[in-house]
């Protein structure tokens, strides 16, 4: 298993970040670290994403920074150029996966159907995002899929929060969880919510 994936598993929760202002990126990354969640998935949903990744990687080197909502090979190249250490995609795209594999960049595609999971497996991927988790049946759906695909580990994102985090983490097929509930405008509040999430992870035996 790649060390990056191991870091994600041990951390237990991946904060999902949407930034409109790259000048806030490094301070936010440090708040995540202070709260015990030194991982960031910066989504390519804004024009500031690429620069935010670059600043986090340069100014908060102890935080594992990846790019999220990556939907094209061109975005993979931009994320890689900015220093992203991993890529997360909301769905399965062979073009995105191929480009990541060409660059040696760990990739976590979104897969919620048996066909998507099989497509990912055919490309050697066994750690998959399950998104949007609650809309697609949440833990109940994952429990139905995991016996069919016992080699797969899921990272549910979308509707995961402080109230249901422990339930997800206690299921063996869950590799980690993703969410944005702990990311707030106030950095002290962000650090505090990250610490609470991290405590839930510890209580789940991670």
In this structure, what CATH number is given to the domain that contains residue 148?
Answer: 3.20.20.70
Look at the block and give the residue holding tokens 């990272």.
Answer: 155
Domain that holds residue 128: 3-199
* Res. 1: pLDDT tops 70: no
99 within a domain of the structure (yes/no): yes
Cα–Cα distance measured from residue 199 to residue 146, given in angstroms and rounded to the nearest whole number: 26
Q: Write down the pTM of the prediction.
A: 0.97
Average pLDDT over residues 41-62: 98
Domain presence at residue 63:
yes
Please indicate, yes or no, if residue 206 is contained in any of the structural domains.
Answer: no
Predicted confidence (pLDDT) per residue in 97-112, tens digit: 999 999 999 999 999 9
Does position 83 have pLDDT exceeding 70, yes or no?
yes
Please report whether residue 57 resides in a domain. Answer: yes
Q: What is the pLDDT of residue 206?
A: 81
Q: How many domains does the chain have?
A: 1
Look at residue 144 and tell me whether its pLDDT is greater than 60. yes
| Residue 204 located in a structural domain | no
Mean pLDDT, range 117-127, rounded to an integer: 98
Name the β-bridge partners of 107: 87
Q: Which residues are identified as catalytic?
A: 41, 129
Using one digit for the tens of pLDDT, what is the confidence trace for 14-44? 999 999 999 999 999 999 999 999 999 999 9
Q: Does residue 130 surpass a pLDDT of 60?
A: yes
Rounded mean pLDDT of 51-65? 97
Residue 96 located in a structural domain: yes
In a domain, 77, yes or no: yes
Query: Is 104 domain-assigned?
Result: yes
Residue 16 phi/psi, 5-degree rounding, is -100, 125
Q: Chain-centre distance of CA 190, in angstroms? A: 17
């Amino acid at each position: 298993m790649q060390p990056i994936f191991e870091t994600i598993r041990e951390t237990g929760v991946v904060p999902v970040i949407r930034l409109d202002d790259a000048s806030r990126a490094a301070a936010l990354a440090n708040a995540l670290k202070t709260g015990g969640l030194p991982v960031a998935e910066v989504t390519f949903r804004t024009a500031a994403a690429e620069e935010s990744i670059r600043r986090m990687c340069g100014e908060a080197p102890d935080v594992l920074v990846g790019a999220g909502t990556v939907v094209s090979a061109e975005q993979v190249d931009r994320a890689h150029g900015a220093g992203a250490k991993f890529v997360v995609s909301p769905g399965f795209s062979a073009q995105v996966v191929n480009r990541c594999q060409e660059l040696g960049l760990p990739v976590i595609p979104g897969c919620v159907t048996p066909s998507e999971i099989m497509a990912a497996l055919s490309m050697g991927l066994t750690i998959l995002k399950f998104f949007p988790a609650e809309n697609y049946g949440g833990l109940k759906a994952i429990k139905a899929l995991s016996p069919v695909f016992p080699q797969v580990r899921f990272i549910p994102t979308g509707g995961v929060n402080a109230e249901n985090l422990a339930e997800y983490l206690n299921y063996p097929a869950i590799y980690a969880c993703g969410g944005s509930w702990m990311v707030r405008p106030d950095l002290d509040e962000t650090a505090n919510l990250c610490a609470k999430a991290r405590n839930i992870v510890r209580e789940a035996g991670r």
